[in-house]
Structure 1
Amino acid sequence: MMNKIVTPFSQCFRLICLSLLVLSSLANAHEYQWLGKYASPDAVVNIFDEKDITLDLKSLLGNKYNDFLDNYEGFADPKRLPGGGLLVEGWLRDLRLENASALVMTKDGRLYAGWVTPDANKIMYATNDKQMKSIHPEIKQWAARFTGMSFSADENQQVFTDVINKVNYFTTPQYQIRVSLICTDRFSICNKAVYKGKRKSDGASMILMGKVIREKCDKTACPASSYEFENKETKTKYQLTVGNPTLTVLVNDKVAMAEKGSWSTTP
C-alpha cells in the first residue's frame, strides 16, 4: 500500500479551501472585531449605530428589519459569549413578552436574530450562518420565556380569528396612534392592547398598556366599541372610540382634550 504524501503545498491548499468554506457560509457579512466595546450596559444602547451591523441586518432581514429593530426601546445587560461574541436583547417598554428581540453576534460576522411581535403567530428567526441548521442555543434559551409560542406555527391548533384587526391606526390633526392587540395566546379572544402614540408637532412618543371595550353581541368575538389606556403616574386616561372616532384625554377623570380622528389599517 502506498503512503499518501502530504506536501506543504497541499496543506496550504487545504487551509485556503477551509477558509473559503467558512467565508462562504456567511451571507454578505462584515467582521465585528470591535464587539467588546459594546459589552457594557451603557455602551450597548449604541450598538446599532455601527454601519456594518445595520447593513448586514438589513441584508439578512429584508422587510422585517424594522419589526426586529423597533423592539430595542429598552436593552438588557449584554451577555459576553465564548470567542468574543455578544448577545443583545431588547423590548418595548412594558412589553417584554409581546414585542422583543434578541441578537447574537460573533467577531467573524455571524448573526443570529430572533424576535416576536403581537401580530405574529410564531417566534421569528433568521441567520446568515448557512452551516448552522438548528436554532442558536442562546436564541433558543431567550425564546423559552414566550409561553405558548415556538419557532414554527402549530398546524394542529387553529389560530383564533378575531373580528378586530391585530393592528389599527388612529390619526387626528395632532397625533398618530398605533393600537395593537398583544396577547401571546393566539388561540383565544384578546382584550389586551397597547397604545403607541406620537405627537406630530415634535415627534414625542408614548407607549401605554390598556384594554379593548367590546360591544355586546351573540358571537364569540364582538367588535370593539372603544379602547382605554392609562398613564398611572400622571393619572391620565386615553380613550379611543370606534363608532364616533374620537381621542379623549382625561386628567383626574376630567376631560382635558377631545379630538376627532379616523381609523385605518395602514399607517
Structure 2
Amino acid sequence: MVHLGRRARGVTLRFQVGARTLATIPRRLRRVALSLDQALAGHVPALPPLADAQGYLVTSVPDGAALDWPGLAFVRQRYDRHYVDLSAGEAAWRAGLSGQARATMRRKARKLAAAGGGALDIRRYRTADDLAAFHPPARAVARLTYQERLLGSALPENAAFQHGREARAWLLFLHGAPVAYLWCGADGDTLRYDYVGHDPAHHALSPGSVLMEAALVDLFADRFARFDFTEGEGQHKRTLASGAVACRDLILLPPTLANRAAVGAVGGFDAAMRAAKGWAERPMLRALARRVRR
C-alpha cells in the first residue's frame, strides 16, 4: 500500500554541514510513502493531486525506478531500507549476524539482567486492551527521549493513533519502572519499526538494543514474514538486518523560477561540501587540520 499524507507537511531544503543546519528553504509537500513490499518490487507510485501542497515528498523510491514527473526532482537522502526476513527463522537470522554482533547482544542482555536483579523484565502487548495498557507507561518514557525533544517522532501523546490497527508493542522495565518501549504497526504481512525510545538515564545499559533483540525473537513465532526497519540508516539496522533495498527520498517540485533557484542553490552547496570533504581526507590536509585544532 502507498501511504498518502492527507495534508501538506512543512519540509525544508537544508544547507547542511554534517548534523548542523546553516539555513533552510521551506516548502509544503504532500508525502507519498512506499511500503517495503513496493520498494522490493521496484514499484513506481502514482502521484495524487497536489491540492494545497507545493510539491511532493516521495519516500523509499527504489534505485533504478524512475518517476514520471515533468518538474524538478531533488534527492533528499539515499539509504538502504533494512529488514529482517522473519520467514527464514531465528536460527538463520542469528547465523547471518557477525560473531561480534552476537557476542555484543549477549553481553548487553547479561549486563541489563544483572542490573535488574538477575532477569530481564520485558512485557509484550498485542490486543486492543494490551495496547491501551501499554500507552501510559510508554509515554512516560517517550517524554524523556531525544525523539520527543529534538525530532517530534516519539510515541504520540494521544493513544487514538493505534485504535483499530493491528500492532505489536514491548516495554522493558528496570526495578519496576519502564525504561524502553517499542511500538510496531502491521502493514499486511510486514511489521514496521514505527516508534522506539529509551530513558537516557539508562543509556549505558543499552535498554533499546536489548528490547529490540527480544522483540525480534518473539516475532519469529508470529504471523509476519518481514520486520521493516523503514526509512533511513542506522548502525543497529545494519547490524540486525538480514536484507536491504537501496532507496532514495525525492522532493518533487513544479518547475517555477523560485524552485529552480532553491534546488540549484542547495544542490550546489551539497556538491561543494562533498568536494571539501574529499579534500579534507587527503593526508596532508588531515595533518594540517590536526595542527590547527591544537
Using the size of structure 1 for normalisation, the TM-score is 0.27
| Bigger Rg, structure 1 or 2 | 1
Q: Which has the higher contact order (CA 8 A, sep 6+)?
A: 2
Which has a greater percent of helix?
2
Using the size of structure 2 for normalisation, the TM-score is 0.25
